[in-house]
Structure 1
Amino acid sequence: MPEGILTLAAAAPKIDTGNTAFMLLSAALVLLMTPGLAFFYGGMVRVKSVLNMLMMSFISIAIITILWTLYGFSIAFDTGNGFLGGFDWVGMRHIGLTEPFATYNIPIYAFAVFQLMFAIITPALISGALADRVKIVAWSVYIALWATLVYFPVAHWVWEPTTGWLFKYGVIDFAGGTAVHINAGAAALGAILVIRKRVGFKKDPFRPHNLPLVMLGAGLLWFGWFGFNAGSWLGADGVSAVAFTNTQVATAAAMLGWLIYERIKHGAFTTLGAASGAVAGLVAITPACGSVSPLGAIAVGVIAGVLCAAAVGLKYKFNFDDSLDVVGVHLVGGIVGSLLIGLFATGGVGQTAKGLFYGGGLDQLGKQFVGVGAVLGYSLVVSAILAFLIDKTIGFTVDEDVEVAGIDQAEHAETAYDFTGAGGGLSGGTLNSATATKKVDA
């Protein structure tokens, strides 16, 4: 068995059934985030590509689950070396039912399924940058290769407690600022620098087709994110409660920060801004929720809300087509949250390291810069290479005329809304609205 993970039976920690139940519930909450993301992204695209957008998230659930079971978990969390895990857990073999993960008191299986949900949503986050124009087969190949070459190794760097090089270096990432959000944001940037832009980019408005769907998706993300963050402590106690609290506080603060910026800049408080601000806050507090106080969480949220709101316009300035602002929200939000640990870490929550404002000097901030730079650089380069190879072989995007006509019909032989069907209304869909109103009133 991998050295450092298993201890002698007499010394092994006893499995805590309460913590195990908490972890399984947290895993279910994190899984809910991927359908939530699908609705969040799906509402922001045009009618003719909403199914393609939804499918890009749902296919991630299927593909990454199988890869995680076959080898992903082993690559990410078997001890191995500093950069790559071993292969003792390939196929989820050699894992006992009551075998604890490292020195924690939850079974390896509970930890594995919790981390599986992180592995699922991370490539799904990338999909928002590629909306309206990607072949589903090319996307499937891309996320399979990306998870294998990028996500699984980076998760090992950041979270494997025995050998992961960033973990041992002292980089703090409580729940995924680097491994999830910077990783996905950098991958999105790498891909969109390679593939073609949407037809009409910087000319057509590309308005969201269903803002209520966006708000529903944001709400599901917010709900599931409590499992994402609080569950990352791998147990239910005071630290997980603080992480839960910080998640709520920072998200609320970020929403307000985004809306205030939006009102000053554009003259309105929009529902899209509220939803996007909430997600920006969730992203930023993810790495920091186990290190900062609730007051620090307010600062993290406000700063992230304002900076992410400002960052979404960079795609027009630098001419990269980030369809649904994955770079502006996830890459920028992940960087902001990861670096602010170096300022606001109290040393009294789940980490002993202190930030600059709590007497810790610049040491932790320097470590956070290393973590941000390493993950960003690696993911950006490898993701761009993968996108280039796929684009030059099987083609990453549909033809432009297919995009204009509607990618849903071409790729999935379906449309999201049937405007021609008879329906099941008050009289088989044959009544007009005025007649229907009279009958209802009667």
Structure 2
Amino acid sequence: MGQYSLVCSTLLCMLFICFACKECGGSCNKYVGPSGSVDCFKIPRYTKYQWGTCLTDSYIQQKSGGRHRCEDPTATYCYYQCMLETHGQGRGSVSQDCQCNPDETEVTRTTVSPTTLVPEWCLSPDGSDCSWYRSCLEEAYPCEGSQNAYAVSYAEKFCLLYDKSSTSFSDIGQEWINAVRKCLQVSLVPLLRPWEKPSCQEIKVRAFASHSKCYLTPYSGAPSICNLTVGDWWKVFWTIKNAFVEATSATLNGMMKTILGCGKSYLDRPFDYIRVIKLKLTTTIRRIGRSVGDNSGDERVGEIADSIATGLNWKSKGVGWFAFSQNNSLSLDKTHVTMTIILADKFHLDVHHPATSSVNLNETVDVLADAVRHGTLKIRVRGGSQTGHIQMLACKGVMCKEVYNKVTGSYTNGSGPAVGVHGLAVVMVTLQLMFASFRLFGID
């Protein structure tokens, strides 16, 4: 029988004399592993048998944010019990997904389990190798090309995004980027355990659910997104936006909501390459098919922002836009739509396209203001009335505490087809219902 050890939480390691598992098969040698070997054992502080995976102590500490480590301080490898790795529970009952039969020699696989055994390194990575998503997660669960693809369509691209552009960020920005890359990857490693049986949709949901946590607290001692400079933040946000034209609203919405959680003043600081516009449209929203749904608000906001950008030729001028809604559903027959448009200079915020010129954002704001004032602005409001009243505020910060231009006018509801999200500006859009004012922006 080889040398082996178990994992305990830091608190348990301090309070108890940690034990070795006498019933473990010894397939996890504390010096050489191998990573990924599994065993079924009963630990006294748990009620039933559970699976455990042989993993490196460094991975375990990275995955748990320093809360867990091998019981044996001399061990390079040890068993990470399922209840601790998956559920963070160091004692008590064993959930159904972690339970095992000690008479079974290996984990029973089903048709939705990993389709192939992945290399040993996949099961205990350090989070820095971007090929993990393709060589490990996608290899085990082929989801590329499906509606719920994640590993290759998003995660790998995000991981590789800064390989050649990290020097565009400050030292703390580079440290945060590396920490987040590791956190996002390590958070998905448990999906490769043989008792896990996620669908492609579940993988995508679990992956995106980890983003907010990784942005705020990648791991112990690493900077938070709230520690970034405003310049770093906008570069991160825009570079992601420009790299993922399609189907990225959920990720970008999550990033924006997370950063706003750092404090109302964080994004209210003026920044040379950003301008903020707030529009309040008065219209009547009619029922068109499924007008109330999980993403109806985001879809309509995107269409409105796209139609403004198209009509004013923002893309060709080097200005881009992003639209998101803090209300995911849109009620029927309501009269107010409140939009916040953040115009950005792509030449200075997209780190993959070095600045060769600049965008005159003040002129962009003036052109929009003239269109509002003279009633020449065409906006696509799906299901909305043909004409409507519009109020525009030009602000120096996202929270719009300081307004430097205010105009009112009318707009025409365009009837052309909706266009995709293009270009290089950030459009933060919030939907305001008739009876539910969105007080954050303080627009009367």
TM-score scaled by structure 2?
Answer: 0.26
Report which structure shows greater RCO (CA 8 Å, sep ≥6): 1
Structure showing the higher helix proportion among its residues: 1
Give TM-score scaled by structure 1 length: 0.26
User: Larger radius of gyration, structure 1 or 2?
Assistant: 2
Higher strand share: 2
